[in-house]
Chains A and B, each alone.
Chain A
C-alpha cells in the first residue's frame, strides 16, 4: 500500500471513484442515484437518534474487525477470517453470559469479553499454526474457517444452546449482569463503542512508537529483510499479529452479543468480517483512519434499510459497494504509485 504517502487524499479519491461507480450502477439498475443516496443519508444521519442508535451502533463491530484486519495486513498476514473469529467470539460470549447470572456486573462483563477475545484468538490460532508449522497459506484456511464457525453457531442455536422452549433458532438472553452498560441513556449505543475507540488509539500508538509495533511493520514490509537485517523473530511476530487480530475480531462478536443482541442466533453478522477488509484498506491500514472509515461504513449499513424502504433499492446493494470501495482503493493506489515513480524519476 504505497499510497500511504498521502493517505487522506488517496482515501478521498477512492471514495469519489466509488461514489461515481455506485451512482452509475444505480442508474443502470433503474434507480435514481440522488434519491437513493438521499434516503440512505436520511436513514443513517437524519436525526440524533439515527446517528447514535443506528449508525454508531453499526460502527462498533466494523471498527473492531477493521482494526483486526488492519493489524494483520500491516504484518503481512492475510487474515480473511475476521468473520469466523467474530462468530467464535460471539459463541464464547454467549456461553459465558448465560452462566454469569450469579456474578456481579463488574466481573460478569469482563468475563464475557475475555471469553470472546480468547475464542477469537483461538480461532485464529488454527490458521496461524498451519501457516507457521505446515506452510499452508492463510488465505484459504481463514476463509474456510469462516464457514465452519458460521455452521457451528447455527448448530448451537438449533441444538445444545437453543432457548429452552425450542421454538426459535436462538439462545436465551444472557444474564443482565453480563450486558454492556449504555453509553448514552435512552439510546442503543453501548460502552463497546468507547472500548473500540480506545483500542484504536492504543493500537495506533503501539504500531507507531513501540518496538513491537516496529517489528510488525518491518515484518509486513519484508519478512526476509526483517529476519536478516533486523534479526527479528519473524515467526513470532506473524503469530502474535495473527492472534491479536483474531482477538480483536472475537471481541467484535463479544461486544455485539453483550451490547446489542444479548443472544446468539444465525446470521448474527451480516458479513462484518468481510466489510472489515474494505474498512481497513480505505483507511490505509491505519488504526485512527479505521475509526473514520468504520463510521462511514456504519452510515452505509445503517442507511441501507431506509434506502430499501423509501427508494426501493435492495439493501444487498451495500454489500456490492464495499467491493467497489476495495477496487477503487486499488486503482487509486496504483495511480498514486505511478505519480510518485514519475516524480522520483525527475528528481
Chain B
C-alpha cells in the first residue's frame, strides 16, 4: 500500500501548503473588492512569520504566536493603508515598497536577535486538531480534517466572506467602493474608511498565513521564507474571480501543485530540486495566461481615488 501512503501524504501536504495561500488570498479578495490591490501582502506574510516565531518563542505557545503574527501582518498593512488611502499614493509602488520593507526589516530583526550564522530556530509548532468524525473519513479525512487550527479558519472564512460580500449591506458597500467609488461616495458610502478596514483585515490574515508558515510547516523562521507566496496569493484571487469560495479552491489547487514536488520526489522522479521549486511560479503564470480573460477585476482596482489627486 505504498501508493496509498504517498497519496495520503500528498493530500496532507496539499492542504498544509494551500492554507497560507488561502488565508492571504481571502484577505486580498476583500481588499481588492473594495478597490485596493496590495502588493505589500508579501511584506505582511513575512512579518507574520517573524511575529509568529517571536510570539511563540516568548510564550512557548504556538497559539499566541498566531495572534502575534496577525498583529505583525496588520501593522505592516497599516503602513500600506495610510499611504494608499490617506495619502492616495500609487498602489503598486507603495505595495512594492512595503514588501521590500517587510523583507528587509524582518531580516534585520532576525539577525540582530539571533545572529547571522546561528543554527536554525526551533519553535513550538501548531499541533494538528483532528475534527471528531470528519477526521476519520476514509481517504481524505486526515488530509482535510486533521490539520493545524489555522486550516479551519480558512475553511470557515471562505463561506463567511462570501456571505459578507454578496449577502450583506456592508458587502454591497465594499463592492461599490471597488466598482465606482465616486457613485458609492455620493450614495453615502465611506469609501476611505471601508478601504482602510479591508486592507487591515487582509494584513491580519496575511500575518496569520505567515505564522502558519513558521509554526505549522517548519517550526522555524528563515529570512525571506515567504518566498513570493504573497504574489501567488494575488494571482489566486484572480483565478478565484474575486469570489471567496472559488479563491479557497484555487488556493488548495495551488497547494496541491506545490505538494506535487514532494510526491514526485518520493516516487523517484529526479529532475533537480531547484526546478521543482520553480514549479508553483510557472504554474501560476500558466494559469493566469489561460484563465484571466474570463475574469473581470473590480473596475476601480488600483486606481487612485479621489481622481483629482491632491
Residues in A lying within 8 Å of B, measured CB to CB: 2, 25, 29, 78, 80, 126, 130, 134-136, 139-141, 143-148, 151-152, 154-155, 158-159, 274, 277-278, 281, 314, 316-324, 326-327, 330-331, 333-334, 337-338, 341
Contact = CB atoms under 8 A, between A and B. Distances in A.
Given A80-B96, A140-B234, A158 B101 contact: no
B26 to A, nearest CB: 17
A132 to B, nearest CB: 12
A154 B79 CA distance: 34
What 10 A-B pairs have minimum CB-CB distances, sorted nearest first? A319-B104, A320-B104, A323-B101, A155-B274, A316-B107, A151-B278, A326-B97, A314-B111, A323-B100, A154-B274
Interface in B256-286: 272-275, 277-278, 281-282, 284-285
User: Dominant SS at the B interface?
Assistant: helix
A320 to B, nearest CB: 3
A140 B91 CA distance: 13
Interface residues of B, number: 47
Interface stretch (B5-13, B151-159, B179-187, B224-232): B224-232
Contacts, number: 142
A314 B116 contact: yes
Contacts of A78: 92
B72 interface: no
B289 interface: yes
A126 B282 CA distance: 12
A134 B287 CA distance: 12
B97 A327 contact: yes
Interface of B: 39, 79, 83, 87-90, 92-94, 96-98, 100-101, 103-105, 107-108, 111-112, 116, 223, 227-228, 231-232, 234-235, 238, 272-275, 277-278, 281-282, 284-285, 288-289, 292-293, 309-310
A151 B276 CA distance: 9
A102 B35 CA distance: 58
A152 B39 CA distance: 24
Q: Which of A274, A277, A314 has the most CB of B within 10 A?
A: A314
Contacts of A134: 288-289, 292-293
Contact of B310 (A25, A140, A337): A337
B104 A143 contact: no
